[in-house]
Amino acid sequence: MDMRRGLWFWWFVLLWLGFVGMGGCRGTSTPQTLAVSTPTAALSPEVRVGTPASLATMAQPSPTLVHSITTSTPSPESTSTSSSLDICRAKFEEILAQHRRDSAQCDVTLQALEDRCPRPTFLRPASITVNMEIILDASGSMAQQTPDGRSRMQAAREALARFIRQLPRDVNIALRVYGHVGSNREQDKPRSCTATELVYPFQPLDHDAFLAAVQRFRPTGWTPLALALDAARQDFRQLRAEREDALATDVLILVTDGEETCGGDPIAAAQRLRNDGVQVYIIGLGLQTEAIAALQQVAASAEGEFHNVTTTDELAQTLTTLVNQTAWLEYLSCLRAYREDFLREQLDAILNAQTCYHRLAAEEREAMLNDILALNTDPTYRVCVDPMLQMLEARQQTWDAMQQRVDALFRLFREQLDRLNRLIDELSHSTPEPTPGP
């Protein structure tokens, strides 16, 4: 009996020790450490596309990251969710600072229409340089009287005085005369027919000096019209050689009371002026039918205009009207040239800007993506890969805004082109091209 009791005693002791040993093993296990799993998306070069409104929202942690941080047992290596995002954000900004591309180098501004072709004011031919030469007939017949009691020469001088007072001072103006040498007698014809003089060479308008030049001669001789036209052509050519200005406008105004009397060919001379791009306006003063027909042909050969007047007031008004119309014709010409440049230069600028934005965005994204994915091997920052990829998507929205800017430029381009076409069409109908007229 005592032996059985001893066996049962030791059996219970062994059973109890076994039970305690199993419980002790559970109670003395090593505490768990932070188990952070690397997000699957971070290991793939493909980036998940998000559509948050701002960088702050894009930078929120992924569900995987939040779960691993909040459910794992704290350890010395673990941090709170907020501080983890701060660390990730700081690392992202560091990478961005290293690879940031400056979009300002791609910016483009469309040239405003008014910068190239300002709308002309009264007697203001846009912003284009105007070279204007006036040829004044000083032949003997200019001493005859007009219906208002003045001599034709007096009428011309007074009309010119009114006219130049309305011109801007930066107009390059010249005054050439013919018929002022010798007399209208036959023996003086050779001398008179070979004389034409530039009494006021091309220069910015000086009203007093110009008016003084107009008073320097008196009507006396013959009418070498072709000679004067060819001399004026050389005046323009010399000025062009001295002052290169592709947008300059050359205007010739002839005031005469008669046709060629020296045997020259004014029609051929006028054609040469036209070939040089000179705009020709002929104003007859008290002409008769035969002279009107002859000078109309001269104007037609230059693709210019002819007008016949009889009084001082008519002459002054015609001069003003001609130059004002010239201003609008030059404005129209400028618009047409601008349209060609606009289509070529402005559109190219927009397309280049678009290409530039795309190139910089791709360069920045590729460089940053490589650096972010490389963090998968960094124990400190590998948990940041997924949220940083989302931050990268938010950064992409900045470049998307650049495309919106390009789209706005395309819209502005179309609006300006439509406006330009309407303006050209309107001026083409309201501003007739020069044609010979009575």
- Return the number of other C-beta atoms located less than 10 Å from residue 161's C-beta: 15
CA proximity to 135, closest of 242, 285, 263, 294: 285
216 to each of 7, 198, 315, how far by Cα in Å? 156, 12, 21
List the structure tokens of 377.
């091997």
Per-residue pLDDT tens over the stretch 349-360: 889 989 999 999
- Residue spans of the chain under pLDDT 70: 1-82, 112-115, 119-128, 245-247, 429-438
List the structure tokens of 143.
């001493």
Packing angle, helices 312-341 and 152-165, rounded to 10: 40
CA proximity to 220, closest of 277, 276, 139: 139
pLDDT for the residue numbered 432: 52
Are 207 and 165 a contacting pair, CB within 8 Å?
A: yes
Per-residue pLDDT tens over the stretch 322-344: 777 777 777 888 888 888 777 78
Q: Which residues 6+ apart lie within 8 Å of 425 measured at CB?
A: none
**Whole-angstrom distance, CA of residue 438 vs CA of residue 425:** 27
**Whole-angstrom distance, CA of residue 228 vs CA of residue 234:** 10
Q: Sheet containing 130-137: give its strands across.
A: 196-204, 172-178, 130-137, 249-256, 279-285, 305-309
pLDDT for the residue numbered 388: 93
- At the second CATH level, the architecture of 125-331 is 3-Layer(aba) Sandwich (3.40)
Are 420 and 339 a contacting pair, CB within 8 Å?
A: yes
Per-residue pLDDT tens over the stretch 118-133: 766 444 444 457 889 9
CA proximity to 61, closest of 76, 82, 75: 82
Q: What is the DSSP letter of 220?
A: -
pLDDT for the residue numbered 246: 56
**Whole-angstrom distance, CA of residue 108 vs CA of residue 351:** 10
Element (H, E) at 282: strand 279-285
CA torsion, points 261, 160, 277, 204, in degrees to nearest 10? 130
